[in-house]
A and B are shown apart, each in its own frame.
Chain A
Amino acid sequence: MADAAFLALSVITIGSAIAALELRSLVYGAIGLMGTLGGVAGFFLLLDSPFVALFQIAVYVGSIAVLILFTVMLVKRELIFKKIEDPKRKWAGIGLMLIFMVAIGAVILDSGLKSVTTDEPPVDFREIGDDFLTYYWPALILMALILAGSVTGALVLARREDEISGPRTD
């Protein structure tokens, strides 16, 4: 059963990744990207970590893909999409990808990951929280500072120079 789900997810993920790269329509490409990211969320579910899977959906599908969609819709197509067809580049890219994948696969097969036990219960998100508050506290502080900085930065950037918010007086 898990194998069927794994195969289906792999087909969805890889297929929509290829679609995201190859489709002429940019909006369909963005939808393909959403499919890829959702497929990755499915892999996280198969790996018994629903916490990461749901955050993958909430952050990547819900926010990042929306950002890309937004950019695609607002920018004129000709400005970011010049038609350069070069078959040599394409084949070089595919070859590079194959070499990279073979290298990564060799590393993974060599690393003894085959001995992973598969019937363990899913990781409780409370344990992740405990670890963050005890052993990995510097990482937590760093993340908190980065996030607070980015929220503050967003607020500063969003503030308009010509301050005429509020009801009109004239």
Chain B
Amino acid sequence: MSVIAPKFRFSEFLKSITDNLFWIIILVTLIGLPVIMIVLLFVDLPVYQGELINPFLAFSWMFHPELSLPLIKSFMITDFFRIAVFPGFGFAVLLATSVIFIERKMLAKLQLRVGPFYCGKIEGILQLMADGIKLVTKEIIIPAKADKPIFILSPLMFVGAAAAFVALIPVAPGWVVADIDLGLIAVFAVIGFFPIITVLASWSANSKYPFIGGIRALFQMVSFEIPLILSLLGVVILTGTLNLSEIVASQASFPWIIFLPVGAIVFFIAMLAELERIPFDLPEAESEIVAGWLTEFSGMMYGLVQLGSYIKLYAFAALFVVIFLGGWNGPMIFPPLEEELILEGKTIGPITIQTPGLPIFSMEFFSGVFWFILKTAAVIFFILLPRGVFPRVRIDLLLDLGWFKLIGLTFLNIFIALALLYAGVFGPGGML
């Protein structure tokens, strides 16, 4: 008899399952379906085969696997889908949460430990879910003398700023939430919000350790923003655009890291400092100042800050991929579908397979997303790797690195870019 369920009985187990089924059916019919209907009455529905779909038709189509395809397709071109699901928040959260698990497991392997092991059958794969449930159900403790409005708002603003960052990243051709002409400047503007939120959060907690951590974070982020911005100018000089999609499109034949390796290295180091990763994790140095500026956060507020910082990690890695590694460009690995299969269906022996309206995405899209995720995962791996290897640096060495070495190297990078431009390698009428 196991310890977790000492009075386990199969009949009671069955009863609980049927009870749950009963309540699910009751609630779905009495609440769920009317809510869907009411929502459909207020949503703009698409035109399909020359006629406007009315809510009743859409309602009956929704539960028909073949007829619901036009509805899904029309949903996928809406802005809401882009913001909430694919290139936007949902995709980033999925990647960020998987990064948390992979980081713990990878560090454990590096340090000859086991890591998360007991939740879930395979290598503790459910550990993250357990942590999430723990964070959600924990009490949120606000310090008595804290500045409540700022203290409560700052985790939300942190996640919001990270989501705004994610919204600027192009994932596949045409798949970006905000495809603005000044994408890179917008990225700098969004990055500028993180030190404000950090220092306000640390101040509002009204406690010593968060304040020390917040001041350190401010020092570090503000001083590493300068090499971060300057190291990207080389690419801007060579491409002549600030739009991130156009920067990716300019790397169809070669990524910029080949010609601007100095800029890429400087950007990577500045990125580590902006993300407060080891070896630059002074703001949350757990062996010196408890947990730095996160000390007073508890429960889901802590969870939100962690989620925000991992979304930020994904966004920075994706920015590195977009600017230096060529984004979605790469060899086509999925062969394009046959025209015959899409238009008429295919006959295999006695069976004819027909797929009306089925290829929702083109194969180019899958290939692009595959390369983007592969490169992003590689960059994230290199961001996580120093945590298993390096100790923390001292703050004066950190500032010395940021102000003297990295800024000097960024100027070198800009001169390399200018030399390539004036030597006629790139630019209008260039060799490449």
- Assess whether B192 is in contact with A50, with CB atoms less than 8 Å apart: no
Extra 10 A-B pairs, beta carbons < 8 Å, given A61-B193, A62-B188: A27-B147, A62-B189, A65-B196, A66-B222, A69-B200, A73-B211, A74-B215, A125-B182, A165-B397, A166-B397
Q: How far is the CB of A39 from chain B (nearest CB, A)?
A: 15
Interface of A (DSSP majority class): helix
| Cβ of A102 under 8 Å from chain B | no
- Which of B199, B396, B397, B400 contacts A69 (CB under 8 A)? B199
Residue contact B195 to A58, C-beta cutoff 8 Å: no
CB within 8 Å for A70 and B199 given contacts A54-B186, A165-B396: yes
Give the residues in chain A near B42, CB-CB below 8 Å: none
Q: Which A residue's beta carbon lies closest to that of B195?
A: A66
B150, B182, B185, B222: the one contacting A63 at CB < 8 Å is B222
Q: How far is the CB of B145 from chain A (nearest CB, A)?
A: 14
- Flag whether B407 is at the interface (Cβ < 8 A): yes
Q: Could you say which residues of chain B place their CB within 8 Å of the CB of A166?
A: 397
Q: Which of B60-102 contact A (CB under 8 A)?
A: none
Interface residues on B, range: 20 to 34
Which A146-160 residues sit within 8 Å CB-CB of chain B?
151, 154-155, 158-160
The reply to whether A54 and B189 contact each other, CB–CB distance below 8 Å, is: yes
Q: How far is the CB of B106 from chain A (nearest CB, A)?
A: 28
Residues facing B in A114-160 (CB within 8 A) are: 124-126, 151, 154-155, 158-160
Q: Using Cβ atoms and an 8 Å threshold, which residues of chain B touch A155?
A: 403-404, 407
**Residue A12 at the chain B interface, CB threshold 8 Å:** no
Residues of A contacting B421 in the complex (Cβ-Cβ under 8 angstroms): none
Residue A44 at the chain B interface, CB threshold 8 Å: no
Q: Find chain B residues with CB under 8 A from A63 CB.
A: 192, 222
A55 to B203, CA, bound (A): 27
Residue contact A34 to B196, C-beta cutoff 8 Å: yes
Residues of B within 8 A of A151 (CB): 407
Q: Does B218 contact A (CB under 8 A)?
A: yes
Interface string of A73-85 (1 = CB under 8 A from B): 1100000000000
Q: Say yes or no: B181 contacts A154, CB within 8 Å.
A: no
Q: Which applies to chain B's interface (DSSP): helix, strand, loop or mixed?
A: helix
Q: Could you pull out 16 A-B pairs where Cβ atoms are within 8 angstroms?
A: A51-B182, A54-B182, A54-B185, A54-B189, A55-B185, A62-B192, A62-B193, A66-B199, A69-B200, A70-B215, A73-B203, A73-B215, A124-B181, A125-B182, A155-B407, A165-B400
Complex interface bits, B169-203 against A, C-beta within 8 A gives 1, otherwise 0: 00000000000111001101101110110011001
| In the bound complex, CA of A66 to CA of B396 (Å) | 21
Number of A-B contacts (CB under 8 A): 75
A51 to B243, CA, bound (A): 12
Which B residues are CB-close (under 8 A) to A46?
none
| B257: Cβ under 8 A from any A Cβ | no
Do A125 and B242 touch across chains, with their CB atoms under 8 A apart? yes
Per the 8 Å Cβ criterion, residues 197-253 of B in contact with A are 199-200, 203, 211, 215, 218, 222, 225, 240, 242
B399: CB under 8 A from chain A?
yes
* B196→A58 contact, CB < 8 A: no
A17 contacts B by Cβ under 8 Å:
no
Q: Any chain B CB within 8 A of the CB of A57?
A: yes
Instruction: Tell me the bound Cα distance from A51 to B203 in angstroms.
Output: 32
Structural contact, A61 and B192, CB atoms closer than 8 A = yes
A163 to B305, CA, bound (A): 38
Contact of A158 (CB < 8 Å), options: B180, B203, B403: B403
The answer to whether A40 has its CB under 8 Å from any CB of chain B is no
Contact of A61 among B196, B225, B404 (CB under 8 A): B196
Instruction: Tell me if A31 is interfacial: C-beta within 8 Å of chain B.
Output: yes
Contacts of A66 in B (CB 8 A): 192, 195-196, 199, 218, 222
Report chain B residues within 8 Å CB of A34: 196
With both beta carbons as reference points, the residue of chain A lying nearest to B222 in the complex is identified as: A66
Bound CA–CA A100/B181 (angstroms): 38
Contacts of A69 in B (CB 8 A): 196, 199-200
Closest residue of B by beta carbon distance from A70 = B218
**B180 near A50: Cβ-Cβ < 8 Å:** yes
Contacts of B188 in A (CB 8 A): 54, 58, 62
- Which residue from A27, A58, A159 sits with its C-beta under 8 Å from B192? A58
Instruction: Name the distance in Å between A52's Cβ and chain B's nearest Cβ.
Output: 10
Contacts of B222 in A (CB 8 A): 63, 66
For A65, list chain B residues within 8 Å (CB). 196
